[in-house]
A = this chain, B = another copy of it.
Amino acid sequence: MEQETLHVKGMSCGHCVSAVEGNVGEMRGVSDVKVNLGQGTVAVSYDKSDVTHAEIVDTIEDQGYDVG
């Protein structure tokens, strides 16, 4: 199990939290995801044999946010 904290720009409200947590949370291999709006971070726990860092980043960016 991997645990990573990604820095994500553009998340500004509760809808953004729902969009990121909802979409990342339903990815196969992701066991936990938590957005911190104030810090602009997304903490993700996932199984590397099921999902990659790049796939998680893509999912967040597909929602219109900037990871990096």
A interface residue numbers (CB < 8 A to B): 10, 12-16, 19, 64
Residues of B within 8 A of A19 (CB): 15
Copies of this chain, count: 2
Q: In whole angstroms, what is the CA distance A61 to B64 when docked?
A: 26
Max count, chain B CB within 10 A of own CB: residue among A13, A14, A16: A13
Residues of B within 8 A of A16 (CB): 13, 15
**Shortest distance from the beta carbon of A61 to any chain B beta carbon, whole Å:** 15
Residue of B nearest to A11 (CB): B13
Q: In whole angstroms, what is the CA distance A14 to B15 when docked?
A: 9
Residues of B within 8 A of A10 (CB): 13
Q: In whole angstroms, what is the CA distance A29 to B16 when docked?
A: 30
